[in-house]
Amino acid sequence: MTETVDRYLEPLNLAELASRLAAAGELVGISDPLHWSPESTESHESHESSRSPESPDPPELPRSSESSESLESSELPRPPELPEQSLTDWPNEQAHALLQQIIPNHLSYDSRDTVPGSLFFCKGTHFQTAYLIDAKKRGALAYISESIQPLALPGLIIRDARRAMALTAAWYYEKLLKQLTIIGVTGTKGKSTTVYFIKSILDCWMQSLGEPETAILSSIDNYDGVIFEESHLTTQESLDLYRHFANAVASGISYLSMEVSSQGLKYHRVTGIPFTVGCFLNFGRDHISEIEHSDIEDYLSSKLKIFEQTEVACINLGSEQIERVVAAAKTSEWLITFGWTEFAELSASNHVDQGTSGSSFTAQLFGQEVDFQLALAGDFNVENALAAIAATTALGVPIDIIREGLAKALVPGRMEPFQAPDNKLILVDYAHNQMSFDALFKAVRAAYPNSSISIVFGCPGYKAYDRRHDLGLIAGREARDVVLTEEDAGAEPVLEICEDIAQYVRAAGVEPRIILDREDAIISAIDQALPGAVILITGKGRETRQKRGTEYIEVISDVAIVEKYIQTHSDQSDKHLQTHLDRPGKHVEAHLDQSDEQTQAYSDLPGEYLQTHSDLSDEQR
């Protein structure tokens, strides 16, 4: 079945594509045309008709860039026996004539997604020739790869498969891009909140004009007019982004707000995508590991790439490395500055936190004073709001619409408050790095200065190792009770991650508790918190998956765990209250005695939990 995105594909033949890739410095050469099979150089229409409807689908294989290690080599199709191919220079007269006849009708990097007439991209560290063989069986007419593949197919050999894929997509979907206004947001923290603020403002604007609500691609949810799904990647691969763009345009949507991660910029997932507005929120140390960024310079330079494709740049003057940020942003056509400083074109003052009711502030907008109300507390959310104001002002949204949109804006899993028994306040938040932890604790201390704080968190496996040090020290410094647990551990044992974090919590003066099961950890933290305490549950928000090994496993979300806990204890409280009313004398004395026993039991609980789950971990390992 033809995908929505294929309707917008430009009729660009492979000879023209090869010339464009060469001009972009990507094309190294082409596979030897002497080894191309005759059917591979037919037009995609004739190739499609040659496959009968009754033909069985070829066996399924993993996608080209993932999970190759899950199959034994004996299970994979073997490449055909072909003589060793040499690289042929481009331009080549014979190859040019043949490639002119090939006009792809679909772009794919996943063999399972391939249809007759596809151009297939060989990418990813786990790529194997078997995936291209499978793609050819399904009707692929040609491939793009960083190396020559031993198949009788036309191949364009390039330097960087991801960059070539993104550029190719931008050329084939050029008219699609012109029908959508895209706003990109990058930064170490605040991306999700800011894109939700922007979406809320734009939705109010569209509603006033009788237009559909706008699209969003974030690390929380994706919505494009057709698909509404929980997100599992901040910035998706380029071809997946274009599917969302196509759905949005087909649904009559004019605006799309998206998070742009440093990985998305570094690995060319957004290369070729024009951002009408690009926001740079802040910069801090994060994502430094062998599989992310080699050092802080690599991280910064990756984020600054957003300005190379941005028309209007909005930057926070309070960001670290601001001189570098300003210099990079000046390549944009228009620069808008925001922040707490009076030197910013959009600045804030008179900020008042109202706890779970949100906050208010006054913004100076190009010399005009405007009061705003937010549903979220914290001065960091005021900065996010200023970014949203800057972005939507650049788009021409009226100020009264901006005020309305911000007042209505809610962010799933961000500072979501829940009231538990004993006047305990539970806050569920996605905070997961040093900047977001610092900001979260600062906001909580300001709003609840006399409250004890407990926290439940973990760290991902085999990446962002600095977080273990940073989050451990911050949690140990700020919280009375620190509970360490699972948080997308991947292939790294959860217990090892928690023990790594625990050493830094201890260095700050607190003995952490390790409870490997996340639901048990959350329940224990709530149970053992003091009356009137604030319990922070960070990192996962409303996410319903945990990365275990190489797979994402369905789990109950942090929000759902909290809601279930509150409902259960509310029901128990109602029953206890009725019993007390019926028998107020001896029963109250008995209940007080039970309470003392429970208190002693809770003090023994951490060791039991740790021992139980340590044994479980050893069995699993």
Digit-coded pLDDT (tens) for 590-605:
333 433 433 333 333 3
Question: What is the Cα Rg of the chain in Å?
Answer: 28
The answer to whether the CB of 18 falls within 8 A of the CB of 78 is: no
Give CATH 3.40.1390.10 domain extents, the chain: 4-172
Which residues does 55 contact at the CB level (< 8 Å), separation at least 6?
Answer: none
pLDDT of residue 192: 92
Per the prediction, the chain carries an average pLDDT of 85
Condensed to tens digits (0 to 9), the pLDDT of residues 444-471 reads 998 899 999 999 999 999 988 899 999 9
Does 495 or 126 have the greater pLDDT score?
495
Nearest to 511 by CA among 526, 499, 495: 499
Give CATH 3.90.190.20 domain extents, the chain: 416-620
What CATH number was assigned to the domain covering residues 4-172? 3.40.1390.10
Give the CATH fold of the 175-408 domain: UDP-N-acetylmuramoyl-L-alanine:D-glutamate ligase (3.40.1190)
pLDDT of residue 73: 39
**Alpha carbon distance 172, 195 (integer Å):** 27
**Alpha carbon distance 269, 164 (integer Å):** 10
Please, what's the largest Cα pairwise distance for the chain?
100
Which residues does 240 contact at the CB level (< 8 Å), separation at least 6?
Answer: none
How many helices (H) and strands (E) would you count in the chain?
19, 25
DSSP alpha helices (H): ranges in 320-464? 322-329, 379-394, 399-408, 434-447
pTM: 0.78
Average pLDDT over residues 226-232: 91
Does 588 or 336 have the greater pLDDT score?
336
Condensed to tens digits (0 to 9), the pLDDT of residues 16-45 reads 999 999 999 999 999 988 778 655 555 444
Tell me, what DSSP letter sits at residue 377?
-
CA angle 161, 225, 60 (to 5 degrees): 45
Q: Residue 578, exposed/middle/buried by CB under 10 A (0-12, 13-18, 19+)?
A: exposed
Does 74 or 166 have the greater pLDDT score?
166
**Alpha carbon distance 358, 374 (integer Å):** 5
Residue 522 clears pLDDT 50, i.e. is over it: yes
**3-class state of residue 72 by DSSP:** coil
Give CATH 3.40.1190.10 domain extents, the chain: 175-408
The yes/no answer on whether domain 416-620 falls in CATH 2.40.170.20 is: no
- Written as one letter, the residue type at 401 is I
Condensed to tens digits (0 to 9), the pLDDT of residues 395-407 reads 999 999 999 999 9
In total, the chain counts a number of residues equal to 621
Structure tokens at 556: 């109950």
Condensed to tens digits (0 to 9), the pLDDT of residues 339-387 reads 999 899 999 999 887 777 788 999 999 888 999 999 988 888 999 999 9
- Beta-strand pair 359-365/368-374: antiparallel
Instruction: Phi first, then psi: give them for residue 535, nearest 5 degrees.
Output: -110, 120
Condensed to tens digits (0 to 9), the pLDDT of residues 142-151 reads 999 999 998 8
